[in-house]
Each structure stands twice: as C-alpha cells, then as structure tokens.
Structure 1
Amino acid sequence: MEKQEKFIVPIGPQHPALKEPGHFEFTVDGEVVTSATARLGYVHRGIEKAVESRNWTQAMYMLERICGICSHVHATAYCLGVEQLAGVQAPPRAQAIRVLIAELERIHSHMLWWGVAAHEGGFDILFMYTWRDRETVMELLEMLSGNRVHYSANLIGGVKFDIDQKQADAIRKGIDYLEERTHHYLEIITTDETFLGRTRNIGVMSPEVAKSLGAVGPTARASNIHRDLRVDQPYAGYDMFPVKLVTETQGDLEARFVVRLKELFESYRIIREVLDNLPESELTVKVPRKIPAGQVISRVEAPRGELFYYIESNGSDQPERIKVRTPTLPNWGTVLATAVGLKLADMPMLLVGIDPCFSCNDRLVLVKDQNQTQSGKTWTWEDLRIHGIERYK
C-alpha cells in the first residue's frame, strides 16, 4: 500500500492575516486540520535581561514596553511586587486610581481585540466601527495621562496624577456612550448568522481540557472556569471595588467572544464606582532607592488573563532578576489542541479567539556561541550587545 504523504499548510511568520510574526503549520486532510504546531520567538527584545542593568524606576518604564495594549497592568504587577519587597503600600487613593486605569485599559484592549476579530471574520465595516469607538477610551486615557497607549500612570509607591471633577465627568460621559455601543456589539455576536457560523460550536473546550492546558483569562472563563485574580486574590484597590465574575458554559468561540464583551459592562460599573467613591489620601509614599534583598511573586489579572511577575532583589538599586509570564503563553496550547478536527478556514478565528499578543509572549531566545569553550557561561548584557553587533555586521 502506498504511503500517504502529509499536506502541510504554513501560515507566517510574515502573513497578511497576522498582525505580528508567528509561524504555524497545519497538517490537513482535504479541508480538515489533523494536527497543528506553532513556532514563536520572532519578536524577542531582551527586556528581561535589559532591566538588570537599569535602576528600579528605569526598569518600570522598560517593562511597560513589553506590551503596548497592557502597559499599565505590567507596571502595576511590577510596582506591587517591588512595594512588597520594600515593605511599603501605596495610599488608598493611588490604589483606586490604579484600578480605574486598569479597567479603562481593559476596555481599550477588548475593543481593539473585537475589531481585529471582526476583521479576521471578514467584517471590515464592524472593524472600523469598533476602532472608531475605541478612540473614545483612548482619548480618556490621553486626557488623564497625556498618552494614548503607554500611560505611565504608576510610580513605585503610588501614581503620578490625580483625577479632578472635570475629568471624572468626561469619563462618565465616555463610558455611557461605550456601554450603549457594547449592547449593540453583544447583539451582533449572538444573533448574526454569518458571525455565528464562524464561532458557534467552533473550538469547543471543556472545563477539564481548559484546566489541563492551563488556560487563563476570558479563554478559561468561557469554559466555565471560575478564575479571576481580581476576585480570587484582590490586589491594588479591588478589595474596595469588588469584581463580579463573568463566565460562560459553552466553551466555544462564541462563548469567548461573549465573555469579553460582558466583561466590558463590568468594567463600566467598576469605573463608575471608583469615580463615585475615590478615597481621600496622598498619591504616593516614599520608597528607598535600594530595595531590600529578597524575592517575590506578583500576580495580576491582565485583559488576556493572569500576568505573573517574579522579582528578585540583591539589596542594590538595580533588580537582580525579573521573570515575566504573560497570559498568551498558556493560552497557545488551547489553540493547537482545539484546532484538530476543524476546517482550515476556521483557523484565523480560532487564533484570534485567545486575543494573542506575540510581542509580550516572546520571553526567551537561545543563543549558541560556536567559539564559547566554557560550558554554562552566563552572559552579561555587554556580552549580548557585542554578540548582536557581530551577528548583524
């Protein structure tokens, strides 16, 4: 009997359907996917290594650049960890403002994702409407911080700016408009026949599979996994402004879309509560320039799921080690596992269903030095810099 050859469809790393570089290989039998693999690491920027040669304040601004859409939540995770090492706690008003910016950022992230998802499904008009509405929250963030993407609201020990009555009124007005639009988008997701054809009963993931694959964030909550760090382990000001968990039970692409849009309503509610109940206090506390030696784990709920920071101090004014695990990494396994049995045409929507971020996902690159004789040598930042210069001459 003649051996049947595999037919592999490659996607990426440079591809019009991908906004960032990633390489996927789908083995197909006709139109049906029989296996899937992913190769990542195309946008590694060496941020974790770079922060070791910066002081604690400089490191915060560099870590914000891990992800543009989630810059505030990265800075928040970092600041909470460093504050714990330093034995200080940001004032209540600062913690509340951190929550406010985090929820505005969640709206920004989900609206951006919703537009990209519409584009991948062929709904370019919906994509344009969504990104038009996204401008509302970006303008609010610019009003507060002066920046539309990297807000730089945090300081180690507090926040940079306060919120006055005029800004609070502008936020309420923007939230009212976005809430009305979100009701419209939720109706589209759950009623449009063409959209449902791309999402309903596609990529179904049971709670057991979601747990075994380590899914986090809306991807897990769409499979009825009750996991949200804002609820399970409230940080910053979430103990003052409790979050109501949003879950769905179907576990398919439609459920992942619905969870994200329903989370927007929860963000609107929390923002209004923060504005109505901002505690009176200072915005910052003093933090020593040299952070006491020790190590700490800091976890927060980013828009895509659990964001994990390991921070180690040697007692100096610079970090000894910072390790970041972003939510996209554990969610990749759910894409590859649920792809099998689906049609090739379902792959773009399946990929966008986890709201992937390639640049914040890529944390490691392996460099082999052919001239290196000492096994297990640890490279310094200067070693890496020289290697890069030589490599690209």
Structure 2
Amino acid sequence: MSRRWPLHPPPGDGEALSSWLNRLAEIYGLSVEELIRHDLVPPGTGPVVHDGGALDLDPPAGVLSALHRRTGVPLGELRQMTISGWVPWLLDTLDVEPEAEAALDTYVHQDSVLLTAKERPRRQVPGWRAWLPSDRRRGPMRRACPTCASTTTTGGSGFTLVSQLPLTLSCPQHSCRLEPALGALGAFIAWARQDTSATAAPAPVIAMDSLTHEGLRTGLVPLPRRRVHVGVWFRLLRTLIDELSTPVSLLRVRSRRTMQHLWDVAGHPPRAGMAGPWRPYETLPWPQQRMLLEAAATTLQLVKAGEVTAYGTLGHLLSPEAYRPVPDGSTPIQRRRDYWREIEDATNQAIADAQRDPAAARQLLTTLTALTRSETTFRRTREDLVALGVPDRHLPRTLTEAHARDTPPAMRTPSSH
C-alpha cells in the first residue's frame, strides 16, 4: 500500500481534486471510482465517492493520505484542492452548527462595504453555507476556459476548484470568460452551448478576479489601501454582493442613487433583475449570479477611481490612501529673521486697526508723539496718519487734547488761565 505510482503528473495550478484524479485514472485506463477502490482505500471498503462534487467538497482523509503516498504531493497541497481545505477562509465550516441559521448573519453582516449598518437588515437562513449551493442535491458548477480546453498542454480537460464556485468569471491565464460546460468526475465532456468560443472578459472583471486568484495563491489580497487576508477578501466580496441585492425600498435616497448608478454602469437591471423579496446569492440561477459578480467588479472599479464612496466599515480598503508627504530626515533650513519686515508688518497692521477703531487711532498717534513737545511736530504726524487713511474724526486735534485724554483726572494740572 506504500508503493509510489510510476506515472503521476503533478496537479495544475488551482486544479480540483476530481480533475486531477481523472487525469491520473486515464493514464492507467481506469475510471476515477476504480482508481479509488483499487488503490486508494483499504480492500473491502464500500463506495467512497459517487460524484466529483463530493470529492472536491470533502473527501475522506484516508483517500488524501493514500494519494500523498502514491504521488508524493504534500498533504497540505492536496487539501487545498478541495473546498474543505479552505475552511475557515472560504467559509466558516462545512458542518451543521447548533445555530446554523445564524451562519449568514455571521459571515455577511459583521461588516459592510457600500452601505451603512442601518440600511442592511440582518437575516438568518437555515443551512446556509457561503458560495455553496443551498440545495445539497445540486451538483457543482461546471465552467471552463475555452482557450485552456482547446490546448492539450494546459490540462484543459478538467476543471479548477474555483471555476466550480460562483466566485470568479474569468480565466487567470487567458483573461477570457469561463463558459458553462458539461462534465463528470472532473472530466470535461462538452460545452453547454455549441457556439461556445473564447471571449475576453471586461477589464473590471479581470481586475476583481486577479485579486481572488492572488488570494488563493498567496493567502493575501492586495487592496488599494493595504494587503488583507484572503478570508477578509472573501467576506468583503460576499458582503458587497449582498448589498447589491438589497431591496430598493430599504435604501436611503443617497444609497438608492448610488445603486442605480452602479447597475447602469454595469449594464444590468438593478438587483440583477430580482423582483420581490430578497433571496440568498447561493440560491440564484447562474445568470443572476453572473450579473451580481459583474456589478461587484464595477463597484470595486468605481470606488477605487473615487467616483463612488463606500461608507461601510470595509469601504476604506477599496480606495487609495491620500498622499501625505513624509520628511526626508534632513535638517530643515534655518532662515534668518527679517526684523525690518516684521516692523513693517506691525506698522501696517497698526494703521489698518486705526482706520477702523478710534481707540486704536488715538493710541497710535499717542505712541508716535509720546516724546513730542512741539505742536507743529504733533500736527505734522497727525496729518501723515490722515494721509494714510486714518479718519480725521478718530484723532485728537491738538497736542493738549491728546495729553488730556491720556492723563488721569487726578494728575491733570489746572489751567493757568
């Protein structure tokens, strides 16, 4: 049971476990079920898997351990070829929790992106799991890249794990749309439409999907403000989709206008054409899910460009931080103090105050004539101030009058006349 298989090509980037097992089985002329039954589980074990969806969701630990021994692929890498290997990043858990109806509220409503918390009603959906079909009987999505499928050297005969979820719209290698396909146990069979061909994805979609693929590859997503954990990104994107499907009647005027603008730019009807009550994203048919993903991509683009403001708790992550110059560490240049300029400024300010305020005008004239004993000098100074725009009525007319106003009554000497 520990013998290494002589032929075992490595899994492709992001390839689903069922797709890789199908390629391995083809080498030895077996089906996936026969490969698992004969060489990946102990003899006498009952049926392990009935379809590729179960393999890609949560395969038995024994199958992964046996694959590790047969191929040498690290066990951690094998787990990441399944959805269970992305718990708790992609979704909180695959198990049914005692309070399973609160899973949506925990995943989607802890934060917000576009809207404020008051505009988002908290909801509970029993049995809900992020990104996975609510109907457990419904199999995984089958989508593939036409360019990959037509190229024998890219492993295009199978499916990537992310292409089976309503999470991305484009191929990370060729930037074309993922198209609906028919397949079983990880094997591509045919296109769902006969006229399927490679179509370039819109730029906002490519930009959004590149963030998702970067997160799946490295665990971090480079948002405009800073890098975030891929688990934060999955929740941010799912929260944004939920906000885009919010009934218009629950929105304030500002948010209603913003939503209308977003859907107009995306080129789809508001709420992806949903009429009536709100429904979880996971229960919608693929055409509506595709429209919501395209609207989310459009939103990310407009927020980053500053055309739309995101008011939610995570909204600031989507727009670049404002430029703030940082000192280079050098010693600032010390400029010499210009005393004459300071005197000139103070003089101009004193004249401006005297033009408005009689008390300031009298104080200025008194200061300029404090050492003057000549009436002629006093009058000349007074005339200079009047010429500078100080109203005549603001100033005392004679030196005697000026001294009389500035001298306390107890200190004034009686007139000699």
TM-score by length of 2: 0.24
Structure with greater strand share of residues: 1
TM-score by length of 1: 0.25
Structure showing greater Rg:
2
